[in-house]
A and B are shown apart, each in its own frame.
Chain A
Amino acid sequence: MLFVELVVQGLVYGCMYAMMAVGLTLVYGLLRILHIAHAGVFALGAYMTVTVANATGSLALGFLVATVVSAIAGIAIYRLAYQPILHHAAFVPMVVSIGLFIVMQEAFRLIFGAYGIAFDKNPWYVAHVNLVGINLTYVEIAMVIMSVVLLVGFGLFAGLTRAGIGWRATVTDPHMATSFGVDPVRVRYVNFLFGSALAGIAGGLVGLLNNYVEPTMGGAVSYKALAIVVLGGLGSVRGTLIASLVLGVVEAFGAIYLANIFDRDAIGFLFLIVVLMVRPQGLLGRG
């Protein structure tokens, strides 16, 4: 029974990681940038959700604002921070990204205070349903539903719509796509818009799950999402989704059976090292 429960908990965490990591993978696939500041957008989404929800009493409005602001922030990061330095070596945008992430963390601390903020009203946080002996809170259920809906929606967009096909073509071969009339800059904007909105929503949900939004909340997620992206095979969306779920489950078991040696955050990296020793190209990466 404990076994099943740990798998379920792991999958819930996996859904959370997936919403974060997909945005990172998309950026890497398109621009070959390791977008660390993505975790800053995640925390921004959490702050928008909690401040708007506490001010207006409407959680839905909180999420709406978080989605819009995160999407705008993502686009702004691309336009103002990455676009001017795209012609430099790959480490240059990465250093910029790390710097940006640190600036964002300290900005949250200055603007919203060093103490974290809790939701005034968070009825879903302790309320739970009991599915065949396994307790899941409403927030956990919302996390799973939200990630499935958004990621399936994205899959349909990429597979069925004209814009989606153009986007995939740009990832595969930017020059060929351009010569077929796809505007690569627009693709990048769509990319940052979607990935950042997803991270912002994930941030809001994690804020609800912990009932605590704090300046450093992006920290653990930033390097974990990075590990997932590498684990999944850099730039592979499908690999990232699988890696997210696998890491979630590995962590859930690790938290019980390995925690006296490693904490949960270290377990993910241990797993990453082991997988990369066997499959250097990642789970679904092309060798």
Chain B
Amino acid sequence: MKKSVIAATLAAALLFAGSASAQIKIGFHAPQSGPAAADGKSSTIGAEIARDWINEKGGVLGQKIELVIYDDQNKPDQAVPIANKLIGQDKAVAAVSGSYSAPTRAAAAVFQQVHIPYVSAYGVHPDITKEGNWAFRGVQLGPPQGKGAAKFIADKFGKVKVAMVTMNNDFGQSIAEGFKEEAPKLGLTIVKEYTFGLGERQFGPIVASVKADNPDVVYAIGYYFVGGPLVAQLRAGGLKQPIIGAQAFDSMKLMEIAKDAAEGVYIVGGMDRGRKTPADFQPYLAEFKKRAGYDAEAVSANCYSSVMLVADAIKRAGSTDPAKIREALAATKDFPMLTGPLHYFNSVGEIYSPLEVTQVKNGAFVGVTVVDDPSILAPPK
């Protein structure tokens, strides 16, 4: 009896596997264990929602989409064998990275070699697309984000004195670079730049020193889990100046951690949760909350949109030939990403997309303005 059940299950599994091979396979990797597991979980859910919604509408080219998902533990040495597996074993026709810069850079080199199109959903390191013309980026590079922040601060507050508090990793440094380049041109004065490590949660010395500098605004570049404690400690230290945060502040955890101290914080590259466009934005927020049990942040939306973008490219290519998919991706015009319209990719696969600025009001991210100035935001080549 037991044996027959096992045999039947096996047969069913084989049948299922047989039918699955007729699907279009898109590779996906994200850190699902280790220190970056939280973002990895969100990005995976985002990508899965895209897959499910595409398939509910009949898939692409009459075939269902299958996401082949791997855990890269946020390690480059895991990302390389994963890329090889996706290519050799799974026969993926395209791939999306739901991971940070380091593993994405490593995998991009592999996909470049065998000519499989690859989209980095939110990894901001410049080198990812430098691997060649098979890599694309679904998010603005660090430097344009920094320049956009300088533009916002100059427009909103005038020629003010800025104290920078920067995280000393790829993400923080590349944004800071753009900011420091643009700020003097717009008449901003950078009084001092402080740096800190990814593991930092206690900013007492930095707060004391910023207070002594007495800047007009504080520009903080870091993830929400450092942003939360930093914002709260700046306020506890008696600083009342406006705080402008970078894109990765965009998480409901920011408010959970910083509580009332988060009120009034601006985020350049944030996501206005009240926005009605594109049409799938509000349904996405609701669906994400249902599946994850917590509110969506930009990271998950980027992964959702990147999978949607790849599916759209396959549709436009009318083929699962990776070369044709790559061409279709490169020719993308005005694709509705959840984080803002993707106007075009430049010659090296960098996105041009406006930057949304949000502010925390009554515990929610509310849209303030949009920085959309090609002379500042155009991706570097």
Which residue from B194, B197, B212, B232 sits with its C-beta under 8 Å from A2? Answer: B212
Q: Are B206 and A256 in contact (CB under 8 A)?
A: yes
The residues of A that contact B193 with a CB separation of less than 8 Å are 260
Contact with A6, one of B37, B208, B253 (Cβ below 8 angstroms): B208
Residue contact B259 to A122, C-beta cutoff 8 Å: yes
Evaluate whether A256 and B209 lie within 8 angstroms (CB atoms) in the complex, with A115-B38, A116-B253, A126-B260 already known.
yes
* Contact residue among A1, A130, A209, A263 (Cβ-Cβ distance under 8 Å from B202): A209
Whether A137 is near chain B, meaning CB under 8 Å from some CB there, is yes
Tell me if B202 and A128 are in contact (CB < 8 A): no
The tally of residues in A whose CB lies under 8 Å from a CB in B reads: 47
- Separation of A13 and B3 alpha carbons in the complex (Å): 63
Say yes or no for A58: interface residue by CB 8 A criterion: no
Contact of A5 among B196, B208, B256 (CB under 8 A): B208
With contacts A126-B232, A128-B236 taken as known, whether A260 is within 8 angstroms of B201 at the C-beta atoms is: no
In the complex where A10-B205, A260-B195, A263-B195 touch, is A211 in contact with B229 (Cβ < 8 A)? yes
**Is the CB–CB distance between A114 and B168 below 8 Å?**
no
Is A252 part of the contact surface with B, judged by Cβ < 8 Å? yes
Q: Could you say which of B37, B208, B256 contacts A118, with CB atoms under 8 Å apart?
A: B256
Within A96-112, the residues touching B (CB, 8 Å) are 106, 109
A216 to B253, CA, bound (A): 17
User: What B residues does A252 contact at CB under 8 A?
Assistant: 204-205
Q: Is B315 an interface residue (CB 8 A)?
A: no
Q: Is the CB of A126 within 8 A of B236?
A: yes
Asked if B206 contacts A109 (CB within 8 A), the reply is: no
Interface SS of chain B: helix
B248 to chain A, nearest CB (A): 14
Compute how far the CA of A134 lies from the CA of B55 in the bound complex, rounded to whole angstroms. Answer: 59
Chain A minimum-CB-distance residue to B292: A115
Chain B interface residue count, CB cutoff 8 Å, equals: 39
Smallest distance from the beta carbon of B318 to chain A beta carbons, Å? Answer: 40
Whole-angstrom distance from the CB of A6 to the nearest CB of chain B? 5
A9-B204, A216-B35, A253-B205 known; A259 vs B259 contact (CB < 8 Å):
no
CB pair B260–A114 under 8 Å, yes or no, is no
> Taking beta carbons and an 8 Å cutoff, which residues of B are in contact with A?
33, 35, 37-38, 40-41, 168, 193-197, 199-202, 204-206, 208-209, 212, 225, 228-229, 232-233, 235-238, 253, 256-261, 294
A-B CB contact pairs (8 Å), 20 listed: A1-B212, A6-B205, A9-B204, A10-B205, A113-B38, A114-B37, A115-B294, A116-B38, A116-B225, A116-B253, A126-B260, A137-B233, A215-B35, A255-B205, A256-B194, A259-B168, A259-B195, A260-B195, A263-B168, A265-B199
Q: A2-B208, A106-B33, A118-B253 are in contact. List 18 more A-B contacts (CB 8 A).
A: A5-B208, A9-B208, A10-B205, A109-B33, A114-B37, A115-B294, A126-B259, A127-B236, A134-B208, A211-B258, A212-B225, A215-B35, A216-B199, A220-B199, A255-B205, A259-B168, A265-B199, A265-B200
Which 10 A-B residue pairings sit nearest by Cβ, starting from the closest?
A263-B197, A9-B204, A114-B37, A210-B201, A5-B208, A114-B38, A118-B256, A255-B205, A252-B205, A115-B38
